[in-house]
Amino acid sequence: MSLPARGGALWLPLLVVVVGLQACGGGGGGGAPSTPPVVGPPPPPAPSALSYASPQSYTVGTAITSLDPIVTGTVASYSVAPALPAGLALDASTGRISGTPTAAERERAYTVTASNATGNTTFALTLSVAGERATSDRADEKPGRQVHVMYVLTSDAPDDKLDQFGTLEGSVRSWNSWFATQTGGKELRLDTHSGVSSTSRSSGSRRPTRK
């Protein structure tokens, strides 16, 4: 194709191509990728299968053999309800029960709970504490004739632990009142099961025994 000459010069058309470039990668204005959150290990599962050797019977004044729990899983702390018999304590970190009972306590269940952040498990621990046993009757310091009262308990009696809760002593007190009335004021001396005596009376003593 011929083009007209202007002033002796030849003119050619100029094609200008504009190419758009998109910024990418390290180009200016690009945002940095976000950092994923740090996720820690999951919490441990709740403890399970808590148990102790149960039931247990103790005696006032005698230190117990420590009781240690058996449990599956991780335990953060232990607790118990209601409170253990006087003189016994639960270690909140280990679950160990130890001590020396200081007062008689009827048999009952104590709920021990083992816990962590996820949950807990419980166990009903059965305990009882008997009064301190007297090994012999109290020495007789009263001269003259005396009346000795002896209770004989069969092995299947409801209170087969030698009157640890004072049931028989209560009946002797009632009898004592009747005896004083019948004898013009004479009374029996009550020697309690624990070995602690009431006010000395004119004659007699009693110590429950088991057949």
Q: Please report, for the chain, the start and end positions of each structural domain, with discontinuous segments joined by +.
A: 48-130, 148-210
Whether domain 48-130 has CATH 2.60.40.10: yes
Write down the number of H helices and E strands in the chain: 1, 14
CA 105 to chain centre: 16
Q: Tell me the H-state helices in the chain.
A: 167-182
Radius of gyration for the chain, computed over Cα atoms and rounded to the nearest angstrom: 45
E strand or H helix that includes residue 99: strand 97-99
Q: What is the mean pLDDT of residues 3-30?
A: 53
Q: Give me the amino acid identity at 99.
A: G
Taking CA atoms, 91 is separated from 88, 94, 99, 177, in Å, by 10, 6, 11, 48
Rounded to the nearest integer, the mean pLDDT of the chain is 74
Which residues sit opposite 5 in a β-bridge? 10
Taking CA atoms, 42 is separated from 71, 80, 117, 159, in Å, by 20, 28, 11, 54
Question: pLDDT tens for residues 93-136?
Answer: 999 999 999 998 999 999 999 999 999 999 999 999 988 755 55
Question: pLDDT tens for residues 125-157?
Answer: 999 998 875 555 555 555 665 555 555 555 555
Q: What's the pLDDT score for residue 196? A: 40
